[in-house]
Amino acid sequence: MEFIQTLLANELVVSILLSLLPLIFIIAYALVVLYTEMKVAAHIQDRVAYMRTGWHGLLQPIADMLKLLQKEDIIPDKADKLLFRLAPIIAFVGTYAAYAVLPFSSIYIGSNINLGAFFLVAVGSLVVVGILMAGWASNNKWSLFGGVRSAAQMISYEIPTAIAIIIVVMITGSLNLQDVTKFQDGGIGNWVVFGGPLPWSQKLMLMPFTIITFFILFVSSIAEVNRTPFDLPEAESELVQGFNTEYSGMRFAMFYLSEYANLFTVSAVGVALFLGGWSSPFGTFMSGPVWGIFWFVAKSYVFVLIQIWVRWTLPRLRVDQLMYVSWKVLTPWLFACLLSVGLILVL
Amino acid sequence: MLQPPTLPTDYTVKQGHIKTSTGKTIRTEEMIINMGPQHPSTHGVLRLEIVVDGEIIVDCIPHIGYLHRCFEKHCEHMTNYQQVIPYADRMDYCSAMTNEWAFALAAERLLKIEVPERVEYIRVIMAELQRIASHLIAVGTYGIDSGAFTPFLYTFIDREKILDLFEMTCGARLLYNYIWIGGLSHDLPPKFMEQAKDFIRYFRPRLKMLNDLLSYNEIFVKRTANVGVLPKDVAINYAVSGPQLRGSGVNWDLRRDDPYSIYHKLEWEPQVGKGEMGTVGDCWDRHIVRMHEMEQCLNIIEQALAGLPEGNVKAAIPKRIRPEKDAEIYIRTESSRGELGFYIVSDGTASPFRVKARGPAFVNLSVLPEIAKGGMIADLVLIAGSIDIVLGEVDR
């Protein structure tokens, strides 16, 4: 970052340019993951998708984007116009702000604040506000259902996410995501999911708890992004499209974009906290600042693929079963893990 | 400016008050919401007007008639009984062979026609293949209702093979005009036996895979077990029939209890719901009854293929259809959805005086408000899906 600052003297321009980097990444990544999701879904369902535009449909995401861009902007007559227009923007802002603290590489992190993990959880709640606004402002009873369900779901699943983050913080001793990643540097054995770079006796005792914590973090992050099996707010079979029903064109594209960006965010958080972030699993082989970006994106992409896989396999949970899973299954297990990890670290 | 139409219900929403801890009162109200004619999940154009208290359903009023096509009136103006067969196809378009067969049976009894044995066997094979195809649609769309998108495509792959068999025989994939009064329109082509046996061999392991993927999936079981329980006496009082009745534990199948054609010569078991995963008569029971029934259909087809006699399928097709004056008859058959009955009144001319179709989906749907009360909206979708309605038959 420093050398860019030497190129351009104006600090404001520098910070604006650097904050646009994640946006370019999000857009490029959204095209890739859109293609991936459709192709993976198709092959799971024993069909091929997207064979005509470009070789095997590689240009299809661009075609989709162009189509959404040129659609008519329809706002329902009795909708609350200000909230209706504001909702997708706020939902996207909540997702985009989280990219400020993701450690893409050892030399690049948007904002190296000491409260990285805390900032992530806080900013993720903005998405809830956006969705509630969308559900309410659409003047449509089905959208209202979707918005309210989504608010309840996302708020309940922030608890397991936060507790899982606390467990990692206990092991690594810092909320700063860059420090957490540096703590796990040095090969696959140092990853927090396998107990962290601690002596072997502690590691063996920690490992079952960290593996369970990672699994629960993954499940609750699927719930945070409203993906099947937790996609009741946009349950296509029941609520037509949930809070999305009245949205078309670019506004719908904003919600869509923020859903895919969220996919990456929660995978990236899980990777940064548990799986060593930008550090290479082989220790010093294939490591370095530029390799770091590759490892970070590749590991997150594996979890994005797993989320897509789960979406097209499992049915959907009902809203009260969703709540049951969060409050009566995930949270008690996490508290048990919290207690055990704390005890092991103290002893 | 157009006013929105007022709902034709005489239901007044209950209002309530909640006292908060600060002393203020919040006004609460039940909400009337339309699961409208266009909806991804009501299988066709069905309008469900639901009164909800939060997520809990207080009342559910189905409004039908969006697909009414005046089938019974059309029948009175046909020049010939045979011309009704394509119309009967289009009633329950997912299960056309059984529709045609029911009407052809009614007309044959009216005219006192004996069809050759080969015709009976082929009709049984076609009807059972059609039953499998219809249940595959039911199971696939039930998966979509509950959020699993993949089983739908797997069931449709299997269904394509059945439709290939049908296309090979009569040229059509969905609406056949195949089972005529007194016989069939075409004989089985030479490759049919081989391809049908291939299909049976191919389909048995697929059933097991579908069960693993959907029926015994933990999330699916949690969504459907103990949901929409239809007790035995309620089912009998509402005159439901078919897999829905058998799912409630009543061992009643018209193919065995009021036999027609050659069913008494074949060996198979009607499947009854046992409450394996919850209560007897819940949505899971109805679903698993359909899955097991598909397997029994394979047994029937195997036996019928093995015992298929020779003969001319067009031998008994009458040249002139002139029933007696003032003759009337009611015939009931077991279609994929339940008891499909045709009541024909003739006045001595070549076209019927009155035809009444007793559609099983219509009667089965009438039980929906009873079993949906007290559940959630998400449950309503699954309950309506487990009844397996086809709006063509509900509305005719």
Phi, psi for B179 (deg, rounded to 5)? -90, 105
Rounded Cα gap, residues B156 and B108, in angstroms: 34
Are B214 and A315 within 8 A, CB to CB? yes
Rounded Cα gap, residues A137 and A246, in angstroms: 10
Rounded Cα gap, residues A146 and A244, in angstroms: 8
Rounded Cα gap, residues A334 and A210, in angstroms: 10
Instruction: Name the helix (H) or strand (E) containing B291.
Output: helix B283-306
**Is residue B280 within 8 Å of residue B128, measured between CB atoms?**
no
Query: Quick check: helix, strand or coil at residue B156?
Result: helix
Asked whether residue B12 is assigned to any structural domain, the reply reads: no
Rounded Cα gap, residues A242 and A132, in angstroms: 11
Rounded Cα gap, residues B99 and B107, in angstroms: 13
Token pair 């227009």: residue: A85
pLDDT tens, A177-189? 888 888 888 777 7
Which structural domain range is residue B334 located in? 73-360+374-395
Asked whether residue B365 is assigned to any structural domain, the reply reads: no
Using alpha carbons, select from A134, A143, A120 the residue that is nearest to residue A254. A134
Are B147 and A320 within 8 A, CB to CB? no
Using alpha carbons, select from A228, A244, A246, A251 the residue that is nearest to residue A153. A228
Q: How many Å separate Cα A107 from the centre of its chain?
A: 22
Asked whether residue B22 is assigned to any structural domain, the reply reads: no
Rounded Cα gap, residues A163 and A277, in angstroms: 19
Rounded Cα gap, residues A146 and A233, in angstroms: 4
Asked whether residue B238 is assigned to any structural domain, the reply reads: yes
Rounded Cα gap, residues A68 and A151, in angstroms: 27
Asked whether residue B382 is assigned to any structural domain, the reply reads: yes
Closest residue, chain B, to A141 (C-alpha): B33
How confident is the prediction along chain A (347 residues), in pLDDT tens digits per residue? 565 556 666 777 877 887 888 888 898 998 999 999 989 989 988 888 888 888 888 888 888 888 888 888 888 888 888 888 888 899 899 889 888 888 888 877 777 888 888 898 888 888 888 888 888 888 877 788 778 888 888 888 989 999 999 998 888 888 888 888 888 887 777 788 887 788 888 888 888 888 999 999 999 988 888 877 787 766 654 555 666 677 777 888 888 888 889 889 989 999 988 888 888 888 777 777 888 888 899 999 999 999 999 888 888 888 888 888 889 999 999 999 999 989 988 88
Distances from the Cα of B15 to the Cα of B56, B141, B281, angstroms:
15, 37, 34
Count structural domains, chain B: 1
Of B39, B222, B377, the CB nearest to A321: B222
Neighbours of B4 (CB within 10 A): 5
Are B147 and A46 within 8 A, CB to CB? no
Rounded Cα gap, residues B255 and B333, in angstroms: 7
Q: Which residues pair with B59 in a beta bridge?
A: B51
Interface check for B219 against chain A (CB to CB < 8 A): the answer is yes
Of B150, B220, B222, the CB nearest to A44: B150
Are A237 and B222 within 8 A, CB to CB? no
Using alpha carbons, select from B367, B364, B368 the residue that is nearest to residue B393. B364
Asked whether residue B84 is assigned to any structural domain, the reply reads: yes
Closest residue, chain B, to A325 (C-alpha): B219
Asked whether residue B19 is assigned to any structural domain, the reply reads: no
Using alpha carbons, select from A42, A95, A63 the residue that is nearest to residue A225. A95
CATH code at position B149: 1.10.645.10
Complex ipTM more than 0.85, yes or no:
no
Asked whether residue B8 is assigned to any structural domain, the reply reads: no
Are B223 and A318 within 8 A, CB to CB? yes
Q: Which residues contact A124 (CB under 8 A, 6 or more apart)?
A: A94, A98, A154, A158, A161, A224, A265
**Is residue B333 within 8 Å of residue B256, measured between CB atoms?**
no
